[in-house]
Structure 1
Amino acid sequence: MQEDPAQPYADLDPVTLAVRDMIGDSRELVGRMAARMKMNPTDMSAIGALVQNGPMGATELADHLGIRTASATQMIDRLERTGHVERKRDTVDRRRVTVTETDAARQASVQAWAPVIHRIDEVCAALPAPDRATILAFFDRLNEAVAAAERETHPDQP
């Protein structure tokens, strides 16, 4: 089938379009939440990554966010100045410095995201068990498809 350049997604499955729309809505939500927290979306994503994954080095955080290490260092400096993150020496390897979110940043992140997360959880909790299993398997396959596409598209990236 030949793709219409004016409508490149016209032939996609409706579920694919729904996932695309959910990704777009999520990106817009991050932007709105970042504005509420008076930071840019990348800074907010960094706080979220630290809350979710724990302390990281600058390179690890940069890789997680898909930005250059130099950009991550500038971002960490900015977040440190505003009291959102702290740099700490690794307890095992004293040469390594990790970044962790502050209690205030963690609380602000939870406060900003809790209403959304609770609404999503209400929808998920209402699912019958067989549907939940199907949806979990679906998301597992989607996540693997995204990771595989990324590896194919950028094989030189970690």
Structure 2
Amino acid sequence: MADVDPLTESWTPIQIEVMQRLREWAVGFGELHRHLAGWMRLPVSDANALGQITWAAEAGTPLSPAELSRQIAMTTGATTILLNRLEDAGHVQRSRESSDRRRVTLRPTPAAREHARRFLVFAGAEIAAAVRTADPEELRVVTKFLSRITEATGDANQRLEHGPASDDTP
């Protein structure tokens, strides 16, 4: 952990602007999730889970229920109930694909994938255009920066899972 107090550290205008743009992107991304929920006629939590399941499957790294629980910040019990709803509605399939037959893999159904694809075609045109027209070097710099931010966020979340040190408790 870096020995920096973000509340007392001096920030340059560009550093402040970067943090503001990251916050605005996070808010906008959350709003897109809410629109996806409406598009798919699902509660926001279910649409969020379905989005995580779909992106992971598209990336070739399908999720287990436990991994999904961590990503959507729900208990395993609540995630099981959510997955039952998604499965009953025909949005998700659970399968046992690994040699460890206890491990369950989550995948979107073809119908759910197609419905989400239609949403992305409708809602994602501007985002796709922004990425496709960006200079390759700009994309490399942004990717490197976002990787560092993601790693730092992961480190902070891991530290927070273990709770504050005894002298840090209020």
Q: Where on the TM-score scale, by shorter chain, does this alignment land: which range?
A: 0.7 to 0.9
Deviates more, 1:43-52 or 1:88-97: 88-97
Q: 2:94 maps to what in 1? A: 87
When the two structures are superposed, what TM-score results if normalisation uses the length of structure 2? 0.75
1:76 Cα deviation after fit: 0.9
Residues 99 and 136 (structure 1), Cα distance of their counterparts in 2 relative to 1, 3 Å cut = closer
1:52 Cα deviation after fit: 1.8
1:132 Cα deviation after fit: 2.3
Distance 2:98 2:17 in 1: 50
Residues 92 and 125 (structure 1), Cα distance of their counterparts in 2 relative to 1, 3 Å cut = same
Gaps of 5+ in 1: 4-10
Residues 133 and 56 (structure 1), Cα distance of their counterparts in 2 relative to 1, 3 Å cut = closer
1:115 Cα deviation after fit: 3.4
Q: 2:149 maps to what in 1? A: 142
- Contact 1:47 / 1:106 at 8 angstroms: preserved in 2? no
Q: 2:158 maps to what in 1? A: 151
1:24 Cα deviation after fit: 0.7
Give % identity. Answer: 26
- Contact 1:47 / 1:109 at 8 angstroms: preserved in 2? no
Gaps of 5+ in 2: 1-6, 8-12, 164-170
Out of 125, 129, 154, the position equivalent to 1:122 is 129
Q: 2:112 maps to what in 1? A: 105
When the two structures are superposed, what TM-score results if normalisation uses the length of structure 1? 0.80
- 3-state secondary structure, aligned to 1:106: helix
- Contact 1:88 / 1:99 at 8 angstroms: preserved in 2? yes
What per-residue deviation string (whole Å, max 9, x for no partner) do you get for residues 21-67 of structure 1? 11011111111210121001221122222222134332222122221
Residues 146 and 97 (structure 1), Cα distance of their counterparts in 2 relative to 1, 3 Å cut = closer
Instruction: Could you list the structure 1 runs, at least 4 aligned residues long, displaced by more than 4 angstroms after superposition.
Output: none
Out of 18, 27, 38, the position equivalent to 1:15 is 18
Code of the residue aligned with 1:18 in structure 2: it is R
Code of the residue aligned with 1:149 in structure 2: it is A
Distance 2:148 2:18 in 1: 14
1:116 Cα deviation after fit: 3.5
